[in-house]
Chain A
Amino acid sequence: DSGVTQTPKHLITATGQRVTLRCSPRSGDLSVYWYQQSLDQGLQFLIQYYNGEERAKGNILERFSAQQFPDLHSELNLSSLELGDSALYFCASGLAGGTGELFFGEGSRLTVL
C-alpha cells in the first residue's frame, strides 16, 4: 500500500460528460502529480501541484483542469469527454518539490462510451 488513495477506481461515462477524479496524497507529502496512461502507452505527465499551487504543466488538454485543496487532496476534472480520454489516471505524491521517490495510487480507470 503506497498510502496514496484514489477514487473512484472505475468510472464509465458517455461522451460530452464531465467527471472528477480525487486523490488523497500520502501523509506528509506536499506535492501531487497527475499522470495519464492510455492503452499501450507510457505514463504521460499532466500536471503537478505543490502545497496548493500549480508547479508544472505537461500535456494536459484545455478540457482538463486540476486543483489542490488546503488539506492537500487533489481533484482532476475532465470535461467534454471524448472516446480518446478513456485511460487510467494515476495520482502520485512526493515530498517537497525536490527529486525523490513518487508514490503512486492504484489509479482511476475511466471508460468513455
Chain B
Amino acid sequence: GENVEQHPSTLSVQEGDSAVIKCTYSDSASNYFPWYKQELGKGPQLIIDIRSNVGEKKDQRIAVTLNKTAKHFSLHITETQPEDSAVYFCAASLRNTGKLIFGQGTTLQVKP
C-alpha cells in the first residue's frame, strides 16, 4: 500500500546553518508532495509543495526537490532561525484523491 518514509526523526542545527529532511514514497502514482510544519499545540500548516511535473521549487529560505525516478523528495531550509524549530511532515498524494499519506515527522531544533 501507500507508504512514506521520512528521515531523520530529529535534527538539531545551529542558527544560520542549513537543514535537510528527506522522504521516500512507495506509490509511483503519487503526484503531489506537500510539506507541513506543526508547531506545539497547533495543527499542521502547509509551507511548500511540489507537483510531479516539477523537479524543484523554492520559496525564500525553503526549497523542495523531487526525484521521481528514485521516488525521493527533500526539504531544504537555509539560514535557519530559532522560529524554524517545529515538527516537519512530508506527505504524498495520489492523483485526484486529495488523501495525503504522511511521513513520521522530523523534529527540528534550531539552537541560537
Contact = CB atoms under 8 A, between A and B. Distances in A.
Contacts of A50: 98
Contacts of A105: 43
* Interface size classification for chain A: 20 to 34
Given A102-B46, A105-B43, A48 B34 contact: no
A43 B31 contact: no
Interface string B2-41: 0000100000000000000000000000011010100001
A104 B46 CA distance: 9
Given A42-B6, A102-B34, 20 more contacts: A31-B98, A41-B104, A42-B104, A43-B89, A43-B100, A58-B99, A90-B44, A92-B43, A97-B97, A99-B51, A99-B93, A99-B96, A99-B97, A99-B98, A100-B98, A101-B34, A101-B49, A102-B100, A103-B46, A106-B43
A32 B101 CA distance: 15
B108 to A, nearest CB: 15
A45 interface: yes
A2 B97 contact: no
Contacts of B42: 106
Interface of A: 2, 4, 31, 33, 35, 41-45, 48, 50, 55-56, 58, 90, 92, 94, 97-107
